[in-house]
Chains A and B, each alone.
Chain A
Amino acid sequence: DAMVIQNPRYQVTQFGKPVTLSCSQTLNHNVMYWYQQKSSQAPKLLFHYYDKDFNNEADTPDNFQSRRPNTSFCFLDIRSPGLGDAAMYLCATSRDLLWGAVYEQYFGPGTRLTVT
Chain B
Amino acid sequence: AQKITQTQPGMFVQEKEAVTLDCTYDTSDPSYGLFWYKQPSSGEMIFLIYQGSYDQQNATEGRYSLNFQKARKSANLVISASQLGDSAMYFCAMREEASPTGANSKLTFGKGITLSVRP
Residues of A within 8 A of B (CB): 31, 33, 40-43, 45, 48, 50, 53, 55, 57, 88, 90, 92, 97-110, 112
Contacts and interface: CB of A to CB of B under 8 A. Distances in A.
A48 B99 contact: no
- Give the bracket for the number of chain B residues in contact with chain A: 20 to 34
A106 B35 CA distance: 11
A91 to B, nearest CB: 10
B72 to A, nearest CB: 20
Interface of B: 31-33, 35, 37, 42-47, 50, 52, 91, 95, 97-100, 102, 105-107, 109-112
Contacts of B47: 104-107
Contact of B102 (A42, A50, A109, A110): A50
Contacts of A45: 106-107
A50 B104 CA distance: 12
27 contacts: A33-B106, A41-B112, A42-B91, A42-B111, A43-B45, A43-B107, A50-B102, A55-B105, A92-B45, A97-B98, A97-B105, A99-B99, A100-B97, A100-B98, A102-B32, A102-B52, A102-B97, A103-B95, A103-B98, A104-B33, A104-B35, A104-B47, A105-B107, A107-B45, A107-B46, A109-B42, A112-B43
